[in-house]
Amino acid sequence: MQFQKDDIREKILAAAGETFLTQGFGKASMREIAKKAGISTSNMYNYFKSKEELFYAIADPVFHHLANLRKEVFEYKANKDFNNENFMQQFTEFVPKVMFEMIRKYRKEFLLIMDCSKGTKYEQLKKMMATAMETNFTDNIISKKKKSLLQDSCLMHILAMNLIEGILEITRNYKNDEWAKNNIESLMKYHIRGMVQFFT
Amino acid sequence: MQFQKDDIREKILAAAGETFLTQGFGKASMREIAKKAGISTSNMYNYFKSKEELFYAIADPVFHHLANLRKEVFEYKANKDFNNENFMQQFTEFVPKVMFEMIRKYRKEFLLIMDCSKGTKYEQLKKMMATAMETNFTDNIISKKKKSLLQDSCLMHILAMNLIEGILEITRNYKNDEWAKNNIESLMKYHIRGMVQFFT
Amino acid sequence: MQFQKDDIREKILAAAGETFLTQGFGKASMREIAKKAGISTSNMYNYFKSKEELFYAIADPVFHHLANLRKEVFEYKANKDFNNENFMQQFTEFVPKVMFEMIRKYRKEFLLIMDCSKGTKYEQLKKMMATAMETNFTDNIISKKKKSLLQDSCLMHILAMNLIEGILEITRNYKNDEWAKNNIESLMKYHIRGMVQFFT
Amino acid sequence: MQFQKDDIREKILAAAGETFLTQGFGKASMREIAKKAGISTSNMYNYFKSKEELFYAIADPVFHHLANLRKEVFEYKANKDFNNENFMQQFTEFVPKVMFEMIRKYRKEFLLIMDCSKGTKYEQLKKMMATAMETNFTDNIISKKKKSLLQDSCLMHILAMNLIEGILEITRNYKNDEWAKNNIESLMKYHIRGMVQFFT
DNA sequence: CATGAATGAGTCTTCATTCAT
DNA sequence: TATGAATGAAGACTCATTCAT
């Protein structure tokens, strides 16, 4: 297997990325990917042993990157004497920065894992991320007085979701680094400021 | 005879709704729907003459409802001496109300048409609604001074999208009328207030 | 069964004739016939117990007519002191006349049984008629000297076929009685004269 | 590998030819063809990407051959100082020769394209050829005096059709080259002589 | 008499995957 | 390594026909 040609591997990955992105994992066909890559369908199986594995070859890196980000965020939290103030700082400085870097590195892959993964093990990732964020928000932003206000509400969940979807939309319409950076910052600022005013 | 027929028709519609909702239009199979409905695949074609028609039998009503809502919103606007104040009123009173009623009536159908319609004529509906909303916001909320701030930004687009996704999330997690009503109101309030503070 | 409504029966027959004629027996569908007739598919089975029977309901009359014609021609032959002279008379006067009358009465049906009967018991009728004609020609026209000329030839067979196809083409393009009569006569004259000159 | 492939390809083509010939394009089924060829239905699609393409793989060569023949006939005409005399020569010498060669090369294919092509783009070919021939005849054979005789008649059309059907019948019953050659010549002679005597 | 309901077998075609070369 | 060959399962949909009402 170590004799695989890297250029072909790259061609397959590129073709697959494109195809998964437009058709979704389920509707994408190995044939189409092979045609786009300019090789035979069967040859793809020398590089990736199934459609799913091919998908993971693209999606896993972002996944691990995202997992690491999560850790970093927690560490950031642990290292500071955490309070509302530096929470806001985290979400208006640190998070936008790492998000931007993530997008920069994994634009297509991020969209893939979040929007086109139905039928794979990452199907639920968006929802899980939203839930994690939601917990984070609920624990850190909301004053005890206002917590009752959220009883049974899913607003926090929605806002977390919205943040993610916002990042996704920026990723989808990406123009250049500057543009992306600014939009991410605005988006985070918008939501964090909104939450603070709404819930504290 | 009539009884039977309606009975089965409903069963098909229910099975189809469920299947489209979980698999999406493209991946949903007539076989699976038939099996869920407890009839033979071929018999479905006595009720709906194609997979697409079956989808539209479910989706068309919401679509027309949404189209009417759009008209109502425009009329609301036309009837008032329109300014920022009653714009906010519209989006914190009128819009939540009609949205709530829509969801109440068309819960599954709304999710269907917005999230599971790839491959049908409604594929682009969400994007189109977001664009319409965006225009509405941009024209009515943003002060001229701040307009330059949005140059090249897609924040407004994202916020419109977020509103829609928010409604969708509420619809997905629907618990009861009260719950839905409150969440919609909070969501609208959150976003409208946020925009006003951000852009005026 | 004697309670069947004649008008519906006629409607079915008309619709079936039209459909068989354009699609052929094999490709014609009971559904389409029913739709054309304005009744339900299942109701057709109250009138004709299968697609084949429906076909025969249209085709049988022509078939029997054609069978009778054959007998008549033989009788004509038997009644005359038969020789080349009155053979030609038969084919330039008697045959055109009965052919014309046949077409007049059974235009669509004749085309049906000859051209659209693949899959039914009349599949071979055209070939059989040609063979019969061929025998007739060979026995009556060809001088013994020239018979050797036809050894192994299928020209006579072709000419018989041509006569039939010619009648069919006239039937297909039928304009009015006068037109049909003239064309049939010309066609017969052309072929009989041709054969005589060629083979005697 | 190459051997195998061509082998199977030929088997498919043979099976398809046979099936199309007996069932017609419309009624022929890929299943039956596959079974006859001794392979799985799906495997056929590795060789021909649709039923239509499979048909054309057989039919196109004859079509192009026929198109070329047409050109040749026209050139023959253009090169000669054209008159009734060499028109007859063309149809008693040149045309039989090329027809014979065509049949020799494309026996099955010719029958296929003329008789079994309903549902394909060649559906109308026979009719078109007949019409072309008819024009040719009408322009070259018929004296002005007799032209009126043909007013409204379709006899010329029938004769053109008859010539084609005659060739088809010879093709159907083909025994050997000698036999075919003789029959074609007789047929052409018969018709051309007949027309001349009839219409000049 | 008339019909909608029902179906199993069949239509063409695509799928992901395996195998021999 | 690379590929054409091969396949069974599945895709949407149509068919002639039967049956209960």
* pLDDT tens digits along C155-185: 999 999 999 999 999 999 999 999 999 999 9
Question: D and A: touch, per 3+ CB pairs < 8 A?
Answer: no
CA distance A154 to chain B (A): 7
Better-scored residue on pLDDT, C73 or B37: B37
| Cβ atoms of A26 and A118 closer than 8 Å | yes
Angstrom distance, A126 CA to E19 C1': 39
On strand F, nucleotides with any atom < 7 Å from a protein CB are 1-21
Phi, psi (degrees; rounded to nearest 5) at A116: -125, 25
* D155: helix, strand or coil: helix
Across C111-133, average pLDDT: 95
Residue C29, CB, strand E, below 7 Å: no
pLDDT grade for C153, boundaries at 50, 70 and 90:
confident
Question: Measured from the CB, is A50 under 7 Å from any atom of strand E?
Answer: yes
CB B143 within 8 A of CB B174: no
Mutate to test the interface with D, among C99, C133, C158, C192 (most CBs of D within 10 A): C158
| Nearest residue, CB atoms, C190 vs list D173, D182, D194 | D194
Report d(CA A33, CA C103) in Å as an integer: 61
Q: Do C169 and D157 touch (CB under 8 A)?
A: yes
Task: Write down the pLDDT at residue C23.
Answer: 96
Q: Both tokens of residue B199?
A: 């852009």
Residues of D within 8 A of C159 (CB-CB) are: 190
Structure tokens at C68: 């009778």
CB contact under 8 A, D158 and C152: no
pLDDT attached to residue B137:
84
pLDDT at B1: 45
CB atoms within 10 A of CB D57: 16
Instruction: Calculate what percentage of chain A has a pLDDT beyond 70.
Output: 94
Confidence band for B81, pLDDT divided at 50, 70 and 90: low
Q: State the pLDDT confidence band at C1, using cuts at 50, 70 and 90.
A: very low
Mean pLDDT of A44-72: 95
Kindly list the partner chains of chain A, i.e. chains with 3 or more CB atom pairs below 8 Å.
B
State the pTM of this model. Answer: 0.92
Query: Does at least one atom of strand E sit less than 7 Å from the CB of B151?
Result: no
Instruction: Tell me the pLDDT of chain D (200 aa) as tens digits.
Output: 445 578 899 999 999 999 999 999 999 999 999 999 999 999 999 999 999 999 999 999 999 999 999 888 777 766 666 566 677 777 788 889 999 999 999 999 999 999 999 999 999 999 999 999 888 888 877 777 777 777 778 899 999 999 999 999 999 999 999 999 999 999 998 888 888 877 77
CB contact under 8 A, B183 and A154: yes
Residue D190 C-alpha, separation from nearest chain C C-alpha, in angstroms: 7
What residues contact D158, with CB distance under 8 A and at least 6 apart? C165, C166, C169, C170, C183, C187
Which of C185, C141, C150, C142 minimizes the C-alpha distance to C166? C185
Interhelix angle B95-115/B155-172, nearest 10 degrees: 80
- For residues B11-35, average pLDDT: 97
Q: What is the mean pLDDT of residues A5-24?
A: 95
Nucleotides of E under 7 A from a protein CB: 1-21
Measured distance CA(C56)–CA(C121) in Å, rounded:
9
The whole-number pLDDT of residue D79 equals 67
Q: Do D170 and C158 touch (CB under 8 A)?
A: yes
Give the residue on C whose Cα is nearest the Cα of D118. Answer: C23
Query: Residues of B numbered 61-120 whose beta carbons fall under 8 angstroms of chain A's beta carbons: which are they?
Result: 118
Q: Which residue of C has its CA nearest to D115?
A: C115
| Distance (Å, whole) CA A105 – CA A117 | 19
The pLDDT of residue B4: 56
Q: For B40-57, what is the mean pLDDT?
A: 96
The partner residue sitting opposite A27, judged by closest CB among B27, B182, B194, is B27
Of residues D120 and B1, the one with the higher pLDDT is D120
Ramachandran bin of B40, using left for φ above 0, alpha for ψ from -120 to 50, beta for the remaining angles: beta
Give the burial class of A4: count Cβ atoms within 10 A of its Cβ; 0-12 exposed, 13-18 middle, 19 or more buried.
Answer: exposed
| Residues in Cβ contact with B51 at an 8 Å cutoff, skipping those fewer than 6 apart | B25, B28, B30
Q: Has residue B2 got a pLDDT over 60?
A: no
Q: Which of residues C76 and B45 earns the better pLDDT score? A: B45
Task: Identify the sign of the CA torsion A118, A124, A127, A132.
Answer: negative
B91 pLDDT higher than 90:
no
Smallest Cβ distance to C169: which of D152, D154, D186? D154
pLDDT in tens, B136-188: 888 877 777 777 777 788 899 999 999 999 999 999 999 999 999 999 999 99
The answer to whether residue D24 neighbours chain C at the CB level (below 8 Å) is yes
Across the interface, do D118 and C161 touch by the CB < 8 Å criterion?
Answer: no
Is pLDDT at B54 greater than 80 in this prediction?
Answer: yes
Is 80 exceeded by the pLDDT of residue C116? yes
Contact D176/C at CB under 8 A:
no
Which helix (H) or strand (E) is A29 found in, with range?
Answer: none
d(CA D172, CA D181): 14
**For B39-43, B189-193, C104-108, which range has the lowest pLDDT when averaged over its residues?**
B189-193
- Which of C's residues 42-101 have CB atoms within 7 A of nucleic strand E? 42-43, 45-46
Token duo for residue D130: 């007949």
Q: How far apart are CA A184 and CA B153, in angstroms?
A: 10
